[in-house]
Structure 1
Amino acid sequence: MLAHITIQNFAIVKALELDFHKGMTTITGETGAGKSIAIDALGLCLGDRSDPSMVRPGEEKAEIVALFNLQNNPAARRWLEDNELVDGDECILRRIITKEGRSRAFINGSPVPASQQKSLGQHLINIHGQHAHQLLMRNDYQLTLLDQYSGHQNLLHTMRQRYQAWRAARNELKQLEKNKDAFEAQKQLLEYQVNELNELALGENEYPELEEEHRRLSNCGDIAICSQSVLQALTEDDNNNAMSLLQFAQHKLAELAAMDSRFSELTQMLDEAYIQVQETTHEISSYMDRLDMDPSRLSYLDERMATILRLSRKHQVAPDALFAAHQALVAELETFTSSDEKVEQLAADVDAKYQSCLLAAEKLSKSRKRYAKELDKLISSSMHELSMEHGKFHIALESSPDNNLSPLGVDSIELLVSTNPGQPMQALGKVASGGELSRISLAIQVITAQKVDTPSLIFDEVDVGISGPTAAIVGRLLRKLGESTQVMCVTHLPQVAGCGHQQMFVTKTSNKGNTTTNMVPLDVSSRVQELARLLGGSEITEHTLANARELLIAA
């Protein structure tokens, strides 16, 4: 609950410190005195947008500090723990606004974005403004109230998660389908290129081998002439061939070895040379026998190598790299083929996620309908208490999975009322008068507030348009609510003000062109005087004082 607030140089407040207590606190004052000033300042600590005009004229900055007790607020403690900002059983929110418009926010002394203060503030205070009955005309606000009362946050969380997953998958599928024509054109090009290279059927190391064979066939005549010359030099020259000369040398060297053993090793070396020449002669002769001077084979090689060169230029690679380029295109084509499968798989996934969304939405709809029936009875009963004896209230929910799927489910909502006997149920804004709308709005806020887990509630002049006996009933409703949670109520009605467990009075003074607002707690005697002022206006009589005392006693 809110325990203390300090306000400095905010709007027309110079300096203000207030302690708050359990139960219902009412705030009263003259019109224009600034009864809502503390609530506006508190709103900054709860993450509201700042403005340089909020700084008191002539001052450098405005500063607001709010202290909350968290002993009975596990949700706020959990939020602080999750964000590593916990500091015992208390939480201090601080906001500074400079006259230049700069803003700084703090939670337990740590600087944070204002958005974090707003996120935490949802677990600290729930503010019901004087324009809540106008918000009540909006369908999104109506659905929010029903969901707050229903307390099915887990169902809402599941619905949002599944909806986001479905939207993400659907967007991905749309993108794939959008690019389908471009993918198809690219796929057809790849298929043509792969088929062309498939027809070529180039082997991994074929081109270097073709080059070697082509070089050999192209030089077949020169090879034959040179080979014959080698054979002649080695064996076929009758006068002076290598084999005969080696034989002569072997004979002479054998004679030398007989005379000196040191020539024996040389004889062995010469024998090995003779064997090497013999083998060379045999290999060249065999090569000459196999040499095929086939013009048709050479023509085939010319044609195939030309095709390889043409395709390598087309794919901008070296001829010996064309095989690798072919394999890369085959792999790329396989990915395009699998992308078609991916579209099918993703389409099935989108449908599965959509069905999952509908299942979550169905559970959410059932919960809403259950609590809507409960609210129908409670609000109808409250309307009777608020001088609408024949009033009936109904929350109309319609589920439309085909047209209304959103992160909030598939339900559309409309609040229907009947305020007079025999009058059919119609939309709230079409039937209720201004006063009736204010009373219905207040009944809804009080009833739904009982189910909201924030420990502090602020009602800022929500009793506008209410008077007489109805005002007394409103006061009792708010006081009853204050028995289970902290309630602060800005009001101009004495019947409501008198129901508070404590009361504060707002004053405004002007001195030498400066205006200052102040707020002070009232003791019993001062409360009687203030209630009498609210009852009788500027003239306070014994009669109005007696009525004021009766209000306090009745409360």
Structure 2
Amino acid sequence: MLTQLYVKDFAIVENLDIEFNSGMTTITGETGAGKSISIDALGLCLGDRADANMVRHGADKTEVSARFSITKIPNAINWLVDNELADGLPSDCIIRRIINSEGRSKAYINGTPVPLQQLKLLANHLVNIHGQHAHQLLLKNDNQLALLDEFASHSDLITNTFNAYQYWSMQRAELAKLKKAEQQRQDRLQLVEYQVAELDEFAIAEGEFEQLEAEHKILSNAVGLVNESQLALTMLFDSDEHSACSLVQSLANKLSNLSNMDDSLVPIQTLLSEASINLQEASSELRHYVDGLEPDPERLMQLDTRISQAMDLARKHKTTPENLHQEHSALTIELKDIQSSNELSVTLENEVNVAEARYWEHATLLHQARFQAAEHLSQAITESMQALNMAQAQFKIEITQSGSPTKNGSDNIDFLVSANVGQALQTIGKVASGGELSRISLAIQVITAERVSTPTLIFDEVDVGISGATAAIVGKMLRKIGENTQVICVTHLPQVAACGHNQMQVHKNMDEHQTHTSMHSLDSHERIEELARLLGGDKITETAMANARELLIA
């Protein structure tokens, strides 16, 4: 619960240091004294939007800090530990916010600087503020739905529906992106299919073009190669008298005879013998080459055609004939990728359908839970309205499931009211007067407050538009909540103020230069005087004092 609030140079507050107790605490004061300033300051401390106008005139900065006892708030303790903002199991938590005169702010949790969003997350575990304009929010369907969900306490269903919607939206966006590029893929697919089919038909192998060129070169020069090779063969072996083989062999024989007389000639004779053998082998290979080399005009024509086709395809694909095989491979891979993309589109469509079905499954479960909660809340609000001097009032929450999915489900909600006997249920904005709207709002806030897990509930002049016996009922309702939860209520009604376990008064003083606001806790005698002032105005009479005593005792 909130145990201390320190405010320095905020709006018209110069310095304020107040302590809060458990139970119901009421805050009263003259109109315009600044009763809601402490609530505004606390809201700022808990993460509300900062503004340079919040800084007191003439000051450099505004500082607000709040101390909370969290020994009975396990969610807050766990949050602090998980975010490494506490040592061990803390019993207290201090939140601090500073705003300079330029509007820039800094936030701290237990002395550690934190982002504003982190501050807001912690605040959700500590305080729930019901503002003085809450009745106006009742007219908005989004807020009506939020009130119902808060009462129903089915956060898991809301989270599941939200996550399912987000995933479905993501899959739809991915599919739309894929569809958008589909026409380009189809155009490219047709071209690549034609190119691959053409290259498949031509079916050039790796290194084939180089081989074609080499073979073409030989066949185109076949006559010359045969003639010159035949001449070489004659010189090498076939000439009877002067062939190279016969000359070398003759020399080898002579040196063989001479080596019998001089052994030093043996190595030379050996070399000539080996040379003779090599010349004979060369002659044999050359003869084989000549025998196999024949002009083949038909094959040459085939080669011309194949090379010409390769060069034409290479020009078409803007590559070289030597790289045509690699181009073929690359296009084949691209074709498979495009075809896979089409398969992916089909797969993604299936995933979108599955995600949609999953979303509607969660949305339907959420709708059913809301429908059940709406019946209970409608009955509770009807009873609370009747207790607030609207004896014949009826309240109904109408829930219908539409076909329009949103992140919050697919439900349409409407608050229907009948304020008088014989009056049909109609939309709340059409039939409820300002006073009735305030009472309905208060009835809803009191009921929902009983279901909220936060340990501190703040009501900022939510009793506007009610008075008399109704105000007394409101005060008793809030006091009942305060028996188990800390309640802080800013009010102008003595009947509500008298129901508090504790009471604080706000004063506004003015000097020649500035306005000053202060707040202090009232003892029993001071409470009676303040209640008398609320009952009778600035002039406090004995009658007003007596009435105040009766209120306080009651």
Relative to the length of structure 1, the TM-score reads: 0.97
Q: What one-letter code is carried by the residue in structure 2 that aligns with 1:461?
A: E
In the alignment, the residues of structure 2 paired with residue 209 and residue 297 of structure 1 have an alpha-carbon distance, to the nearest angstrom, of 14
- Local SS of the residue matching 1:297: helix
**Aligned residue for 1:334?**
336
Identity of paired residues, percent? 51
The equivalences for 1:228-377 within 5 A come to 228-377=230-379
- Please, which moves more after superposition, 241-250 or 467-476? 241-250
Q: What one-letter code is carried by the residue in structure 1 that aligns with 2:284?
A: H
**Aligned residue for 1:529?**
529
**Aligned residue for 2:512?**
512
**Aligned residue for 1:540?**
540
In the alignment, the residues of structure 2 paired with residue 321 and residue 92 of structure 1 have an alpha-carbon distance, to the nearest angstrom, of 73
In the alignment, the residues of structure 1 paired with residue 43 and residue 429 of structure 2 have an alpha-carbon distance, to the nearest angstrom, of 29
**Aligned residue for 1:157?**
159
Alignment partner of 1:24 is 2:16: no
In the alignment, the residues of structure 1 paired with residue 312 and residue 506 of structure 2 have an alpha-carbon distance, to the nearest angstrom, of 94
In the alignment, the residues of structure 2 paired with residue 112 and residue 19 of structure 1 have an alpha-carbon distance, to the nearest angstrom, of 25
The equivalences for 1:22-61 within 5 A come to 22-61=22-61
- Local SS of the residue matching 1:259: coil
* 1:98 Cα deviation from its structure 2 partner: 0.9
* 1:553 Cα deviation from its structure 2 partner: 1.0
- Local SS of the residue matching 2:525: helix
In the alignment, the residues of structure 2 paired with residue 78 and residue 304 of structure 1 have an alpha-carbon distance, to the nearest angstrom, of 79
The equivalences for 1:216-227 within 5 A come to 216-227=218-229
**Aligned residue for 2:464?**
464
Equivalent pair of 2:249/2:272 in contact (CA under 8 Å): no
Equivalent pair of 2:98/2:107 in contact (CA under 8 Å): yes
* 1:262 Cα deviation from its structure 2 partner: 4.1
Q: What one-letter code is carried by the residue in structure 2 that aligns with 1:301?
A: L
The equivalences for 1:421-432 within 5 A come to 421-432=421-432
In the alignment, the residues of structure 2 paired with residue 84 and residue 316 of structure 1 have an alpha-carbon distance, to the nearest angstrom, of 63
In the alignment, the residues of structure 1 paired with residue 196 and residue 80 of structure 2 have an alpha-carbon distance, to the nearest angstrom, of 62
- Local SS of the residue matching 2:444: helix
**Aligned residue for 1:445?**
445
The equivalences for 1:5-16 within 5 A come to 5-16=5-16
> Which consecutive unaligned segments of at least 5 residues does structure 2 have?
none
Q: What one-letter code is carried by the residue in structure 2 that aligns with 1:524?
A: S
1:365-403 Cα shifts (integer Å, max 9, x gaps):
111112111112211111111011111111110012x2x
Alignment partner of 1:197 is 2:184: no
* 1:114 Cα deviation from its structure 2 partner: 1.6
- Local SS of the residue matching 2:408: coil
**Aligned residue for 1:182?**
184
**Aligned residue for 1:484?**
484
1:344-382 Cα shifts (integer Å, max 9, x gaps):
111111111111111111111111112111112211111
* 1:551 Cα deviation from its structure 2 partner: 1.2
In the alignment, the residues of structure 2 paired with residue 356 and residue 11 of structure 1 have an alpha-carbon distance, to the nearest angstrom, of 51
In the alignment, the residues of structure 1 paired with residue 488 and residue 30 of structure 2 have an alpha-carbon distance, to the nearest angstrom, of 18
Q: What one-letter code is carried by the residue in structure 1 that aligns with 2:329?
A: Q
Equivalent pair of 2:61/2:98 in contact (CA under 8 Å): yes
**Aligned residue for 1:99?**
101
In the alignment, the residues of structure 1 paired with residue 230 and residue 59 of structure 2 have an alpha-carbon distance, to the nearest angstrom, of 114
1:26-71 Cα shifts (integer Å, max 9, x gaps):
0000000000111111111111111111111111111111111211
In the alignment, the residues of structure 2 paired with residue 90 and residue 209 of structure 1 have an alpha-carbon distance, to the nearest angstrom, of 87
1:510-553 Cα shifts (integer Å, max 9, x gaps):
11221111111111111110000000101111111111111111
**Aligned residue for 2:500?**
500
Q: What one-letter code is carried by the residue in structure 2 that aligns with 1:413?
A: I
In the alignment, the residues of structure 2 paired with residue 74 and residue 332 of structure 1 have an alpha-carbon distance, to the nearest angstrom, of 59
Q: What one-letter code is carried by the residue in structure 2 that aligns with 1:178?
A: K
* 1:89 Cα deviation from its structure 2 partner: 2.3
- Please, which moves more after superposition, 168-177 or 111-120? 111-120
Equivalent pair of 2:76/2:125 in contact (CA under 8 Å): yes
1:68-113 Cα shifts (integer Å, max 9, x gaps):
1211212222332332223422222111111122211112222222
Q: What one-letter code is carried by the residue in structure 1 that aligns with 2:242?
A: N
- Local SS of the residue matching 1:187: helix
Alignment partner of 1:418 is 2:418: yes
- Local SS of the residue matching 1:35: coil
- Local SS of the residue matching 1:15: strand
In the alignment, the residues of structure 2 paired with residue 166 and residue 151 of structure 1 have an alpha-carbon distance, to the nearest angstrom, of 25
In the alignment, the residues of structure 1 paired with residue 258 and residue 166 of structure 2 have an alpha-carbon distance, to the nearest angstrom, of 104
Equivalent pair of 2:226/2:294 in contact (CA under 8 Å): no
The equivalences for 1:386-401 within 5 A come to 386-400=388-402
1:417-437 Cα shifts (integer Å, max 9, x gaps):
112122211111112121111
In the alignment, the residues of structure 1 paired with residue 85 and residue 215 of structure 2 have an alpha-carbon distance, to the nearest angstrom, of 81
> Which consecutive unaligned segments of at least 5 residues does structure 1 have?
none
**Aligned residue for 2:212?**
210
- Please, which moves more after superposition, 205-214 or 221-230? 221-230
Q: What one-letter code is carried by the residue in structure 2 that aligns with 1:376?
A: S
State the superposition RMSD in angstroms.
1.3
- Local SS of the residue matching 1:410: strand
Q: What one-letter code is carried by the residue in structure 1 that aligns with 2:2?
A: L
- Please, which moves more after superposition, 382-391 or 490-499? 382-391
- Please, which moves more after superposition, 474-483 or 77-86? 77-86
In the alignment, the residues of structure 1 paired with residue 483 and residue 492 of structure 2 have an alpha-carbon distance, to the nearest angstrom, of 22
In the alignment, the residues of structure 2 paired with residue 292 and residue 73 of structure 1 have an alpha-carbon distance, to the nearest angstrom, of 103
In the alignment, the residues of structure 2 paired with residue 531 and residue 292 of structure 1 have an alpha-carbon distance, to the nearest angstrom, of 130
